[in-house]
Homo-oligomer: A and B are copies of this chain.
C-alpha cells in the first residue's frame, strides 16, 4: 500500500523527536501499521535553524496553512503549542477532512469541546495521547483498556518539573527556590515556570483525564488549582516523619454529589507505589470499580517520550482509516451524544484529610484549646505531633493530621484556630489522600 503522508506543524523538540523516531523505527512501525508512514511536509518558523533531526525528503515551509491545505497529506501533526494559531490550524485541518494528532494539552483542555465537535461532523479523528503523561499511554488506557469500568477516581503526578522539585526538596533537603533555579538551569522548567509550579499545566492535563474517565465535557475553568511554590522544607520533613511523601497531584473523583477536580500538593502514605515516583517521571493511579487500582508510569516529557505518543497516535489513525466513524474510539471515550453533566464541585465541598502546621505558644492548655475547636466542628484528629518542645512561652510547631472531613468545615476550623491568642501567624494546610 502507498505510504501515509504526514504533515508536521512545528519542528521544535517534540517535532524533531517525532521525525527521528519515525525514521529510526521506520521498519518496526511499518511492520506494525501495515503501511509506511512518512513526514512529507513540515511548517517551521525559521527554515535556516540548525535542527537535531534529519530533514531530507521533507519539504519545509514557513506557512503552516500550506501544510494544512496540501491535498496529499492525510494526517496533520500540530506541535506548535499555544492555543490561538494552533486552534486555527487544527480547525482548518479538520475542515479539510484531515486527521489530526496533537500534543497540545492547553489547546485540548480549553478548546477540545469545539474541536471534537468539528471533527465529529467531518468524520475525522483528533488524537492527543501526547497531551498527557508524555509517553505513558494513559489516554488509551482510560479510553479503551478500562472501558468496562466505572472509574471511581484517578490521581496523577502529571507535571515532571514539579515532581523533580519535590523529589529534590525531600532527598537533598533543599529549598523550593533553590531547586527551581536548578530545574531551570537544566532545562526542565520553562523560563516562566508558572505553568509548572502554579499547577496550570497539571490542571490542563487533569481536565482531559477527568473528561475521558467520567464521560463529561472538558471543563478547565472548574478545576481547583494550587501550586507548589508555597511548600516549605519543614513540611516536607514532618510529612516524612509521619510516614508520608508530599506529591503534587491532579485528582479527579466521582462522589455522590458530583465530581471533584483538584490540583494541589498532597500527602500520600509512603507505602503507596505512586509515593515513590521520583524525579521528572510521571505516574497516574486509576481506580476502576472492576479492575481496582492500576498505575501507569513513565517519562512525562522530553523529545522522544512525547514523540512515542505522537507516533502511536499516527499509527492508530492509520489503522482506523477504513473504519466507519461511528465505530471508532470516541474522542472523549464516550459517544459524543452521551456525555454526562454531573456537577463539578467547588473545592469547599470536597472531602479529604488534612495536614496542618501551626506555630503555638508553649503554654499549658494550648493543645486543649486547639483540639476543642476540632471537636466542636466534628473533625476527628488522626494524630498530633508536637515538635521541638522548647522553653515555657517559646513558640513551637504543632502538626495535626485530621481524618476525612469536608473542606468548608476545615476552613472554619482554620478561622477559629487563627483567632487564638496562642497561635501565631498563618496555619499551613496540605491535603492528605490515602489513595485506597
**A316: Cβ under 8 A from any B Cβ:** yes
How far, in whole Å, are A294 and B138 apart by their CA atoms in the complex?
11
Residues of A294-338 whose CB lies within 8 A of B: 294-299, 302, 304-305, 307-312, 314-316, 318-324, 326-330, 333-335, 338
In the assembled complex, the CB of A412 is this many whole angstroms from the nearest CB of chain B, namely 36
**A25: Cβ under 8 A from any B Cβ:** yes
In the assembled complex, the CB of A102 is this many whole angstroms from the nearest CB of chain B, namely 15
Q: Are A135 and B292 in contact, CB atoms less than 8 angstroms apart?
A: yes
A290-B304, A292-B298, A304-B291 as given contacts; A327 in contact with B338, CB under 8 Å: no
Chain B residue contacts of A327, Cβ below 8 A: 34, 318-323
Q: Are B34 and A148 in contact, CB atoms less than 8 angstroms apart?
A: no
Q: How many residues of A contact B (CB 8 A)?
A: 73
**A58: Cβ under 8 A from any B Cβ:** no
A145-B137, A145-B141, A330-B32 as given contacts; A291 in contact with B308, CB under 8 Å: yes
**A70: Cβ under 8 A from any B Cβ:** no
**A182: Cβ under 8 A from any B Cβ:** no
Chain B residue contacts of A292, Cβ below 8 A: 135, 298-299, 302, 304-305
**A92: Cβ under 8 A from any B Cβ:** no
Q: Are B148 and A21 in contact, CB atoms less than 8 angstroms apart?
A: yes
Closest to A30 in B: B338
How far, in whole Å, are A118 and B320 apart by their CA atoms in the complex?
22
A288-B308, A335-B31 as given contacts; A141 in contact with B144, CB under 8 Å: no
In the assembled complex, the CB of A278 is this many whole angstroms from the nearest CB of chain B, namely 9
Partner of A297, one of B30, B137, B294, B338: B294
**A436: Cβ under 8 A from any B Cβ:** no
How far, in whole Å, are A135 and B296 apart by their CA atoms in the complex?
13
Chain B residue contacts of A304, Cβ below 8 A: 289-292
**A420: Cβ under 8 A from any B Cβ:** no
**A276: Cβ under 8 A from any B Cβ:** yes
Chain B residue contacts of A319, Cβ below 8 A: 323, 327-329
- Selected A-B contacts with CB under 8 Å, 10 pairs: A28-B215, A30-B338, A32-B143, A137-B144, A137-B145, A144-B316, A290-B304, A294-B296, A296-B296, A323-B324
